[in-house]
Chains A and B, each alone.
Chain A
Amino acid sequence: GIQVEQSPPDLILQEGANSTLRCNFSDSVNNLQWFHQNPWGQLINLFYIPSGTKQNGRLSATTVATERYSLLYISSSQTTDSGVYFCALGEGNTPLVFGKGTRLSVIA
């Protein structure tokens, strides 16, 4: 099955800093999604991005499917960005496989 590796596993940032989270995967995929799990446990979908680049406010994501990686950029980080960021992948109609996540802590 698809292997998903996220890096770094943990990240501590000062408020206002920028960061890049990476997701590497082992096979071709046609379904890639980024999620944020906030400290209260809620999972929020950030992007559906099997290829290309998307932006939503201070967040943007790029997937280069041919090279099997996706990047999530967070600019001008805020304390509310804290939590765990997951990428999840699927191929065809197979269920999503989640990575282990990157735990982000933004300090004021």
Chain B
Amino acid sequence: DSGVTQTPKHLITATGQRVTLRCSPRSGDLSVYWYQQSLDQGLQFLIQYYNGEERAKGNILERFSAQQFPDLHSELNLSSLELGDSALYFCASSVHFRDTQYFGPGTRLTVL
């Protein structure tokens, strides 16, 4: 158990819908990262927050947004879902930027 929690574990929804994925980092970790893992794209960095502020953005679609709350948990919002958004979404956390990253169990999103 990495100490990073993610909910829900599985999510099945329809095209055009909106979903919210939630992540709680390890106690004491200030940095939260979101990744998308799909068969064709591999593990792709989406976005990073550090102590409530956005620090880095990767290949995150405009339909996706995220935030980190004062208690340091983070949410990833995916809207206008398409079939191609089906993937495993991971959250990871670390104390600071260049520290060891610990991954949560992931949320498997299926868009039908």
Contact = CB atoms under 8 A, between A and B. Distances in A.
Partners in one complex: yes
Interface of A: 30-31, 33, 35, 41-45, 48, 86, 88, 90, 93-98, 100-101
A88 B56 CA distance: 16
The 4 A-B pairs with the shortest beta carbon distances in the complex, nearest first, are A43-B103, A98-B43, A95-B45, A48-B100
A45 B95 CA distance: 14
Given A98-B42, A98-B43, A100-B42, A93 B103 contact: no
Given A33-B100, A42-B106, A95-B56, 20 more contacts: A35-B103, A41-B88, A41-B106, A42-B103, A43-B90, A43-B103, A45-B100, A45-B101, A45-B103, A48-B99, A93-B55, A93-B97, A95-B45, A95-B48, A96-B33, A96-B101, A98-B43, A98-B44, A100-B42, A101-B42
Nearest to B98: A31
A80 to B, nearest CB: 16
The CB with the most chain A CB atoms within 10 A, among B42, B55, B101, B102, is that of B101
Contacts of B56: 93-95
B27 interface: no
A97 B45 CA distance: 7
B35 to A, nearest CB: 8
B2 interface: yes
Contacts of B48: 95
The CB with the most chain A CB atoms within 10 A, among B2, B43, B45, B108, is that of B43
B28 to A, nearest CB: 16
A30 B101 CA distance: 14
A79 B55 CA distance: 39
A98 to B, nearest CB: 4
B8 interface: no
Given A33-B101, A48-B100, A96 B42 contact: no
16 contacts: A31-B98, A33-B100, A42-B103, A43-B90, A43-B103, A43-B106, A44-B103, A45-B2, A45-B103, A86-B43, A88-B101, A95-B58, A96-B101, A98-B45, A100-B42, A101-B42
